[in-house]
Amino acid sequence: MSTLEQTAAAGELTEHHHGPASGIGRWLFTTNHKDIGTLYLWFSFIMFLTGGCMALMIRAELFQPGLQLIEPAFFNQMTTMHGLIMVFGAVMPAFVGLANWMVPMMVGAPDMALPRMNNWSFWILPFAFAMMISTLFMDGGAPNFGWTFYAPLSTTYAPPSVTFFIFAVHMMGISSIMGAINIIATILNLRAPGMTMMKLPLFVWTWLITAFLLIAVMPVLAGVVTMMLMDIHFGTSFFNAAGGGDPVLFQHVFWFFGHPEVYIMILPAFGIVSEIIPTFARKKLFGYASMVYATASIAFLSFIVWAHHMFTVGMPLVGEVFFMFSTMLIAVPTGVKVFNWIATMFRGSMTFETPMLFSLAFVVLFTIGGFSGLMLAIAPVDFQYHDTYFVVAHFHYVLVPGAIFAIMAATYYWIPKWTGRYYNETMGKVHFWLSFIGVNITFFPMHFIGLAGMPRRIPDYALQFADFNAVASVGAFIFGFSQLIFLYNVISCIRSGKKASSEVWEGSHGLEWTLPSPAPYHSFTEPPVVK
């Protein structure tokens, strides 16, 4: 009996035509939201390891002052590619993968609204990133102008491979936009009867708002790289002062995309944490409606704060004051969220399984990242902090123990539903503690070296920064290698974990937990009724 079940779980059972196709064709031609979710998640994990290797190369070079391992030119390519791969290849596809897996199951839909487009939007990505990574082997090397690709560094002074970079960005933009349209169409049209908007799980709500952000700003990104392309190849002068253009214009257009982009990378994380904390606190989420409104306000505010990334370009005082205060305003809805998470845990009967540990670390460390963000929002102070390691510390605190920890929490939380098996709890806890300690050893010292004046994106530095840099490098290697535990845990969970019940967690709530574990290949073909 158990042998039979194992065969079934391995996805090899083809006795009736409702199961997945066999072989590679299953993955190439699939229109099933669960298959595509899996593809997205594995893809983003591979990109996470790739970008991580680049980060470790950077940290290895910075272990000591002076140049030891890599050339400055290659160092610049590493910082650029690390940023691009982590933002567009790891964090964003991971969230889209989670949305693919969970949104239909959470709203009681049989699949995504546009299954074929779903297949397409995934399969564009490997090609986009193959093109982007191939620039490393081209004459003149990969893009070396930083992930923010400021003109004229990325136009007049760019390596020839910049054109490949531009088309890679176009392709991943198209992929994200199609993914976003699909998610919006699913959430708006395929909800089960009785699933009103204000009954949607928060992960679904945050993704709906994220999808609107994607639709609003990914085309602007496509626009700005198109302008670069025209400046480089067709003789226009959007960003070239000699022809009447303006390099500062680049920064305005880029950050008009860039600031909403950082919320695209954190709002789904808010949703994940809002699912996990109530489960392990065994209480309902505190302040559901305020969570929804807070998310929407953050999304709205993200459109009017972009110039706080460019306080030092020479803005008039009025502009600095406006962008300073509107930026600080974002702390209010974010504070509401943190308050609600804490209030949810208050007097709950909490247990600390791995997803909960990652979520708790998220709340604490994301808040630290938020506070350093508030410091950077103060325009006169930013003149000192701009382009230092303080900025590096800030955005890594919100992205690594923010977005990445939330993705890991989500994986541990939902993997029993995906595979029908529990991961190894002890191994999960070891992974958590090594990651938690590694992340803090890596990024906390960066606050101090930043305040002391060490600029970012440099391969060599003054001697007084040596000790903290060595500490940060040690932490980076702890964090980096502990991810292999995660990989091993996921693989052994798929192959031989302990069987999971359909509820999986004692305090779980929501439609996805009414399905058996593993979730059948086709779920909710008959829409459930939500009371």
Partner 1 sequence: MDAELKARTRRTIAYSVMSCVAMFGFGFALVPLYDVFCDITGLNGKVELRAVEAPAPEAVDLSREVKLQLTAVNNESMPWEFRPMKSQTRLHPGQLLQTAYFAHNTTERYMIAQAIPSVSPSEAAPYVHKVNCFCFDRQPLFAAEQKEMPLLLSIDPKLPAHIHTITLSYTLFDITPAADNRVADGGRNGL
Give catalytic residues, as residue numbers. 82, 111, 147, 175-176, 259, 261, 263, 274, 308-309, 334, 337, 456
Which alpha helices (DSSP H) does 147-287 contain, by range? Answer: 162-189, 202-233, 247-264, 267-281
By CB atoms closer than 10 A (0-12, 13-18, 19+), residue 251 is: buried
Task: Return d(Cα 198, Cα 201) in angstroms, integer.
Answer: 8
Stretch binding partner 1 (CB under 8 A), from 76-84, 96-104, 187-195, 342-350:
187-195
| Site stretch for partner 1 (CB under 8 A), options 158-166, 234-242, 430-438, 469-477 | 234-242
Give, as ranges, the residues between 96 and 125 that touch partner 1 (CB under 8 A).
113-114
Pick the binder of partner 1 from 21, 185, 304, 350 (CB under 8 A).
185
- Residues 194-223 binding partner 1 (CB under 8 A) are 215-223
CB of 154 to partner 1, least distance (A): 16
DSSP line for 50-79:
HHHHHHHHHHHHTTSSS--SS-HHHHHHHH
By the rule CB under 8 A, 310 interacts with partner 1: no
Following DSSP, what letter does each residue of 441-503 receive, concatenated?
HHHHHHHHHHHTTPBSS-S---GGGHHHHHHHHHHHHHHHHHHHHHHHHHHHHHHHPEE--SS
User: Interface with partner 1 includes 304 (CB under 8 A)?
Assistant: no
Nearer to partner 1, 229 or 407 (CB): 229
Q: E strand or H helix at 348, and its extent?
A: none
CB of 246 to partner 1, least distance (A): 7
User: Considering only CA atoms, which of 416, 429, 421 is closest in space to residue 508?
Assistant: 416
| Length reported for the chain | 531
246 makes contact with partner 1 (CB under 8 A) = yes
| From 96-104, 240-248, 291-299, 449-457, span contacting partner 1 (CB under 8 A) | 240-248
Position 262 contacts partner 1 (CB under 8 A): no
Nearer to partner 1, 54 or 227 (CB): 227
Cα distance between residue 492 and residue 423, in whole Å: 7
The one-letter amino acid code at 147 reads W
Does 227 interact with partner 1 (rule: CB under 8 A)?
yes
End-to-end Cα, the chain, rounded Å: 37
- Give the whole-angstrom CA distance, residue 357 versus residue 435: 11
- Give the binding range for partner 1 (CB under 8 A) out of 41-49, 250-258, 442-450, 479-487: 250-258
Number of chain residues interacting with partner 1 (CB under 8 A): 37
Footprint of partner 1 on 318-347 (CB under 8 A): 319
Closest CA to 269 of 353, 366, 177, 175: 366
CB 177, min distance to partner 1, A: 6
Closest distance of CB 74 from partner 1, Å: 24
Tokens of 477: 């290697």
Which residues, numbered 425-464, are part of the site for partner 1 (CB under 8 A)? none
Residues found near partner 1 in the complex (CB under 8 A): 113-114, 177, 180-181, 184-185, 188-190, 215-224, 227, 238, 241-244, 246, 248-249, 252-253, 256-257, 314-316, 319
